Chains A and B, each alone.
Chain A
Amino acid sequence: MQALGEFLARRWPQLLELAVEHLLLVLTAIVLATFIGVMIGVLVYRSAALSSLATAMTATILTIPSLALFGLMVVWVGLGDRSAVIALTAYALLPIVRNTVTGLQGVDPAVNESAKGMGLSARARLLRIDLPLAWPVILTGVRVATMLIVSIAAIAAYIGAGGLGNWIFDGLARRGSVVAMPLIISGTLGVVAVAFILDGFYIVVGRVTTPRGIRD
């Protein structure tokens, strides 16, 4: 414990740097996954068959072990951030697609009928009615997806994407040395801290972006 304290006191600027790197990696992937996932959800939600297909396919991605997927990405795209972002985006899709579908299907049919009956175009209905109403559910999906990839992102250090995984892998490589445990523990705690920060961020985002009329 004392070793950990001394270690952190000495190296916290570096820890902070890695945490920011980690955070940016996750956020990049989440922004991409939200765009792609919501788009997929919008395209499939009217058809039960297409919705199950989209959910099944994104679920399949999740079953691929992360090391294997990162490995494949290195073969296809090469080492570095880009591979990591693509893999993390793919992992984040399932909760976002599923919640987009659920959210859009949950919009009151009467609301849809009256919107259509008033002459709102399909585009206007989607952007002004359906998506805003489904938004709290979609946001929950985004939040779950974020928690999911915060931890997977640690493994991205393996393919040179940086982030807190660096320390964890460093620690594993230096088994037996004095700094091994402090490296692993502070890397792990860093991941947890990033997860907490992001969760708090989503609570704020949820507050700000949910219209008063549909807040609980």
Chain B
Amino acid sequence: MEHMIRLDELTKRFPGQLAVDSVSMDIPEGEIVVFVGPSGCGKTTTLKMINRLIEPTSGRIFLEDEDVTRINADRLRRRIGYVIQQIGLFPHMTIASNIATVPRTLGWDKQRIAERVDELLELVGMDPEAYRDRYPKELSGGQNQRVGVARALAADPAVMLMDEPFGAVDPITRERLQNEFLRLQDEVNKTICFVTHDVDEAIKMGDRIAIFGDDHGIQQFDTPEMILSHPANEFVEDFLGSGAALKRLHLRRVREVALTAWPAAGVAEDRDTLREKLEDSEQSFLLLLDEQRQPVRWVSRRDLERGEGRMADRGLPVAAIIEPHATLHDALDEMITSNVGCAVVVDREGAYQGVVDIDPVMTAVNTLRAELRERLAVGSWHAVPTETVEEGTS
């Protein structure tokens, strides 16, 4: 099987209005393909034609090389995970029942369903014991969105369709959900179609991006690197907007750059040790960690010298905290808001890993630029040197 999903000249005409004009696309297995474009460009309609919530006027849809354009729609949909912006959890059912919906429809036995529910809750970072028997209204927006993703993954579908899944949450939650989702994707490796109107989100999430235009067709379908460096036409260029160099920072993740070692110490250590540690370094702030090695405070020399009282109440709170999955764009964003001028990197459990300051960001900007220049000089259209899938014609 070469492609997980193939769209063959899909067209949708609503009465008196063309919504999607002959879209053809091959989506390789295990990739996240983002559909992005202005409103009314047909990106959502295209997505909904894949699970046939909207029936195409003409054209064909292939899933795992099988023509699914005419098969039973309900049975097709059970093979495809579906996540929407409004989530649509069933309010009268517990979290466990929500997640169990498709497995139950497929006739799994109780034991298997219960195990799967717990497994999925853990996968999306929620304690099964605490959440299994709760109801959607008792959870926050971000938690409900996680349950929505778990529910879509329940029967382990090869394909997931996500319609602006993180569009309705606040920016901080959105960033966290995006990073969590990318980490999740590393584990589950699904083929994902993802609709958004946010270019930054598209660049961050997509292995490949399809830019839809006002003509209801695809303007460009390529990797984020290529789209940023080689917009196919004026429309794409306008749509990307300015600051392509800044956007390129979405293409590098924190885990790919060397972290800077920063003087850090346990919050319980005695004051002289702390002072010594700070003085041995070239920095003006010391990072204090709690027993779980989670960052708690930034303290300066002055904070250390000042009178009595608990160490944990001194200095400044650590605000800029990111996970290795975050992009350098996120890191830069955090850095700018941080008091100390760097972002603290923590692992899944929240334990301190290191910090990112402006240097690796500048290095990344330079190497990304150099890589591009090199690639353009060689005349290769392959975005990533290790890429095996032919994409020169797209």
- Chain A residues in contact with chain B, CB under 8 A? 108, 110-121, 124, 129, 132-133, 211-214
Contact = CB atoms under 8 A, between A and B. Distances in A.
B77 A118 contact: yes
Interface in B67-126: 73-80, 82, 84, 86-94, 101-102, 105
A116 B94 contact: no
Contacts of B89: 111, 114
Contacts of A121: 74
Contact of A118 (B92, B101, B135): B101
B137 interface: yes
A205 B303 CA distance: 64
Nearest to B134: A213
Given A113-B88, A119-B102, 18 more contacts: A108-B88, A108-B91, A110-B88, A114-B84, A114-B88, A114-B148, A115-B90, A115-B101, A118-B77, A119-B73, A119-B105, A133-B90, A133-B92, A211-B93, A213-B92, A213-B136, A214-B91, A214-B92
Interface size bracket, B side: 20 to 34
Given A120-B105, A211-B92, A110 B84 contact: yes
Contacts of A211: 92-93, 135
Contacts of A119: 73-80, 102, 105
Contacts of B101: 115, 118, 120
Interface on chain A toward B: helix, strand, loop, or mixed SS? helix
Given A118-B101, A212-B135, A214-B92, A110 B74 contact: no
Contacts, number: 75
15 contacts: A111-B88, A113-B53, A113-B84, A114-B82, A114-B87, A115-B88, A116-B77, A117-B84, A118-B78, A119-B73, A119-B75, A133-B92, A211-B93, A212-B135, A213-B137
Contacts of B87: 110, 114
B94 to A, nearest CB: 7
Nearest to B95: A213
Contacts of B86: 108, 110, 113
Contacts of A129: 90
Given A110-B84, A213-B135, A117 B93 contact: no
Interface string B130-166: 0000011100000000001001100000000100000
Contact of A132 (B78, B92, B94, B137): B92
A213 B94 contact: yes
B220 interface: no
A108 B89 CA distance: 10
A44 B151 CA distance: 31
B191 interface: no
Most buried by A among B53, B73, B93, B151: B93
A74 to B, nearest CB: 44
B46 interface: no
B51 interface: yes
B115 to A, nearest CB: 20
B104 to A, nearest CB: 9
Contacts of B91: 108, 111, 133, 213-214
B74 A120 contact: yes
A115 B91 CA distance: 12
B102 A118 contact: yes
Contacts of B76: 119
B53 A117 contact: yes
Contacts of A132: 92
Nearest to B137: A213
A120 B101 CA distance: 8
A117 B159 CA distance: 13
Given A110-B84, A213-B137, A117 B90 contact: no
Contacts of B82: 114, 117-118
A143 to B, nearest CB: 20
Interface string B155-198: 00000010000000000000000000000000000000000000
Cβ-closest 4 pairs across A and B: A114-B88, A119-B77, A213-B135, A110-B86
Contacts of B136: 213
Contacts of B51: 117
Contacts of A124: 105
A211 B93 CA distance: 8
Contacts of A116: 53, 77
A59 B10 CA distance: 48
Contacts of A110: 84, 86-88
Nearest to B154: A118
A216 to B, nearest CB: 10
